[in-house]
Chains A and B, each alone.
Chain A
């Protein structure tokens, strides 16, 4: 099935950044389905994945209307190529290690990524609730409640594991060191952000930095984890330039629809 190419505009780009971040993180979180440390947490993680998928669907539906060429959420999710996905590079990084030889992390990586992301999304949704786009505001009004819960649940784990046994603390420190450089991308300000801010569509990413940093610092302190040093590294997923991992995520996510276009069951 041939890929689609989007006519890019700044508002479309802005919305896709959020939609794709939710979508790819949901896809990664779903890798835990059936493999959670205990069944209750397995259900919690997959619930979160479904919440994020719901947010992605609503945003992709809106994005399709903004693009105006008659696309829909399904075609946007399944027929775009890597260079037109605009998720944060953080969320395409491997999450659960499926086998000894594959790339991936541990439960510490998962709870930490959930926490860092949920804190970011919560700040974003709170600001989007007053978007000049009524549909975006409506989506944000619902999503902020989900983000608040995701953040609370993940923060609870970060504190338990950070301020836990020597092994759990060491794993949390390692997870924090791996994730931290990717968080810079959450606060870059570019022309897409500036245009969205000027149009009242939503906040520029740098506007979220202070609130995010304060909440993250508070939880890390409770978890007895030191804030990692700043690095100059800026990931580029939000401009369509991805790490080596997104291709594999998309291949798995898109293969069924591309093999059986328009398939329904």
Chain B
């Protein structure tokens, strides 16, 4: 999928704004990004998201956000932002020995 953050710049003329759709599956805990659609406003976006992205019983909750409101990290910064985590394993919570009484987290 193309970088959606850039599409907000193509809102010209009569085009409806672009919205990103997030769907939470029935048994799930978080909303996952499902795709995008065009709609005139938030109410329409929710209805269309239900029609386009939940027709195969994908979920039980829908969020829509204007694509223009999403700020994404710059792919050119990927190395500086994310590579340093590779060798910082001490930041993971796996070095504590839990007493048996609480050892099923």
**B16, B40, B52 — most chain A CB neighbours (10 Å):** B52
Q: Tell me the dominant secondary structure on chain A's binding face.
A: helix
Residue ID in chain A nearest B41 by CB atoms: A160
Q: A38-B16, A38-B38 are in contact. Are A43 and B51 (CB under 8 A)?
A: yes
Q: CB-CB contacts of A209-250 with B at 8 A, as 1s and 0s?
A: 000000000000000000000000000000000000000000
Interface size class of B (residues with CB under 8 A): 10 to 19
Q: Which residues of B contact A156 (CB under 8 A)?
A: 43-44, 47
Q: Which residues of B contact A152 (CB under 8 A)?
A: 47
B5 proximal to A (CB < 8 A): no
In the assembled complex, the CB of A54 is this many whole angstroms from the nearest CB of chain B, namely 13
CA distance A133 to B40 in the complex (A): 44
How many residue pairs link A and B with beta carbons under 8 A? The number is: 28
CA distance A149 to B47 in the complex (A): 9
B55 proximal to A (CB < 8 A): yes
Q: Which residues of A contact B43 (CB under 8 A)?
A: 156
Interface residues of A (CB under 8 A from B): 38, 40-41, 43-44, 47, 149, 152-153, 156, 160
Interface residues of B (CB under 8 A from A): 16, 37-40, 43-44, 47-48, 50-52, 55
